[in-house]
Chains A and B, each alone.
Chain A
Amino acid sequence: MKATREAYGEALVELGREHPEIVVLDADLSSSTMTSGFAKEFPERFFNFGIAEANMMGAAAGLARSGKVPFASTFAVFASGRAYDQVRQSIAYPGFNVKIAASHGGLTVGPDGASHQALEDIALMRVIPGMTVVVPADAEETRQVVRWAAAHDGPVYIRLGRSPVPDVFPQGAPIQPGKASVVKDAKGRGFGEMRPGGERDGLDADVAILANGIMVSKCLEAWELLAAEGITSVVVDVAFVKPLDEKTLLELAGRCGAFVTAEEHSVIGGLGGAVTEFLSENCPCPVVRVGVRDRFGQSGTPEELLAEYGLTAEDIAQAARKSLELKRAE
């Protein structure tokens, strides 16, 4: 168990040692976004802009234009909301190489409540041309995604969580950033047990469950619930909401013909939106979305909120049953 924001902080320090061009920016939240480790080790390459997120994003654009590789961090609500226009105009439009690492995404921020719970950030970022949008599932995937982002040329939005999440990937797992990862196939094999390009027959299932962030581990629980009633499923981590791994989606459409998407985000415009948009144009089949149904968040513990907003393993299983029913009715 580790929060993805923690893994981000550690990855930054590692990368900082290897790449002198990496600079880190924060907006008075370095102890929460976990950029404080980098700040300590590389004070001359760390810039705290104070409570001024829009200015921070503009400065990140300028640093990128001058050959630096800036990682700019604040909470996801502020990175995607307060600074939306700066991210769009100053960073994405000229295609600058800025990495936006936004922590405290989703409901699991907990007691701070709606003002601090980003449930629209993926939609906002996904709609910007050229923006890569990633929601890693656990600490290991975060480490690898951050590393990938540092090497990738172009703007990237990485959404991180506040609360610790169970490990989905073993350390050093051969994750291929950009590709969807099957984390449990219909035969119950985990990520480590399937060689890339190896046995694909485990993808033949009643339903494919696509998820990212904290919802991946919830989907693994749902897999068990469904298996107990004789429904086979595959759980696929789609960390890259954009660009989507279309090839894997098409394969799953062929093999399963029914989908569930699960995300700690509005059902509008996030992973569920991206998947339905793609499938309806290329291989129409039922997709049932698990996510927040057009509401703001509120105060509560992470578990209370996940239950209230319909983001539990049982909600995912229920969505899978519905998706299967729709497939059978076709």
Chain B
Amino acid sequence: MGQKGKCEVTTQTQCSKKVEEIRRVCREVRKNVLVMIGTAGSGHPGGSLSCVEIISTLYFGVMRVKPEDPNWPDRDRFVLSKGHAAPTLYAVLAEKGFFPKDLLPTLRKFGSPLQGHPDAKRTPGVEVSTGSLGQGLSMAVGMALAGKLDRKGYRVWVLLGDGECQEGQVWEAAMAASHYKLDNLAAFVDFNGLQIDGRVEEIMNPSPLADKWRAFGWRVLEVDGHDVDALLEAASYASESPGAPTAIIARTVKGKGVSFMEGQREWHGKAPKGEELSRALQEVTKS
């Protein structure tokens, strides 16, 4: 990875404080994600838990946003292209103060602003509506193009699933992003190796994924997607790479933090019940 560490501009102590804070947020988010899905009785724990560090690091260590003014024109943007990880996004947004945390347990309930998949019209801080996979990167390209046109300094961050990279639209967007030299755009791939029907490489193998992004004109980093330090460093590299968008392939574990969910495809779209939920909560609060 590049030489530019995140600590160049800050002192070591400020830096480790930031990392500590993000780790605390991650613990809180994991717990809330489990409670939310458990209370809803449906949802997607596996792919929500695999991206906790990525989304938390972005909102608490990288992006400039104003929770009290969610549509602040200069804000950095985040697009959750793998919309089924909505619980993680909601928990992070609530932690950041976009809306009260007591809304979290209303996830997926009739009348709730927290829809099963992100709904830009209902939830403060949600940029675009996603849930139909493969569309987020295109919308992010549009936002990044507008940023260039308006000579704004904001950055656009996207999170894709590795299974999601099977959608052709992802690659149409990837081509456009490098064509327009969108260096204000970066995409994380939550590389947890699983989709619904099984292992990504067995269902429809997108590998070598890093080479594909490179071939589409992107800069590519590969990081441990649960290592906050590494994620911060990758984000800072992406922010300082002129001329091209950056793809950050984040190696993750689906269901991360809950032993019986880790790497298990059954937990893609199943809510933990009773005993399972309390065991899961115990594990994520301990860690």
Contact = CB atoms under 8 A, between A and B. Distances in A.
Whether chain B is bound by chain A comes out as yes
B264 interface: no
A30 B110 CA distance: 28
Interface string B176-220: 000000000000000000011100100110000000000000000
Nearest to B200: A50
A111 B40 CA distance: 8
Nearest to A298: B115
A5 to B, nearest CB: 15
- For chain B, the bracket of interface size reads 20 to 34
Interface in B150-177: 163-164, 166-168
Interface string A20-49: 000000101111100010000000000011
Contacts of A81: 132
Given A51-B164, A111-B42, A115-B117, A304 B197 contact: no
Contacts of B132: 77-78, 81-82, 115-116
Interface centre among A28, A78, A299 (most CB of B within 10 A): A299
A111 B117 CA distance: 9
Nearest to A308: B110
A26 B196 CA distance: 12
A29 B108 contact: no
B259 interface: no
Interface residues of A, number: 32
Contacts of A50: 163, 166, 195, 200, 203-204
Nearest to A110: B42
B131 interface: yes
B109 interface: yes
Given A113-B108, A116-B131, A51 B115 contact: no
A32 B131 CA distance: 16
Interface string B132-161: 111000000000000000000000000000
Given A113-B117, A113-B131, A116-B131, A51 B166 contact: yes
A305 B195 CA distance: 29
B197 A52 contact: no
Interface in A199-249: none
Contacts of B109: 111, 299-300
A176 interface: no
Contacts of B41: 111
Interface centre among B111, B131, B195, B204 (most CB of A within 10 A): B204
A55 interface: yes
A204 B133 CA distance: 50
A114 interface: yes
A300 B110 contact: yes
Contacts of A26: 197
Given A48-B204, A51-B134, A51-B164, A113 B116 contact: yes
A92 interface: no
B129 interface: yes
A301 B41 CA distance: 11
Contact of A29 (B111, B164, B196, B200): B196
B197 A31 contact: yes
Contacts of B112: 299
B130 interface: yes
Given A113-B119, A304-B110, A48 B203 contact: yes
A113 B108 CA distance: 8
Interface centre among A26, A112, A114, A300 (most CB of B within 10 A): A112
A114 B117 CA distance: 8
Interface in A43-87: 48-52, 54-55, 77-78, 81-82
A113 B109 CA distance: 10
Interface centre among B111, B112, B133, B163 (most CB of A within 10 A): B133
Nearest to A53: B167
6 contacts: A31-B196, A51-B163, A51-B167, A112-B117, A113-B115, A115-B116
Interface of A: 26, 28-32, 36, 48-52, 54-55, 77-78, 81-82, 110-116, 298-301, 304-305, 308
Interface of B: 40-43, 83, 108-112, 115-117, 119, 129-134, 163-164, 166-168, 195-197, 200, 203-204
7 nearest A-B pairs in the assembled complex, by CB-CB distance: A50-B204, A115-B131, A300-B110, A113-B116, A50-B166, A111-B108, A113-B115
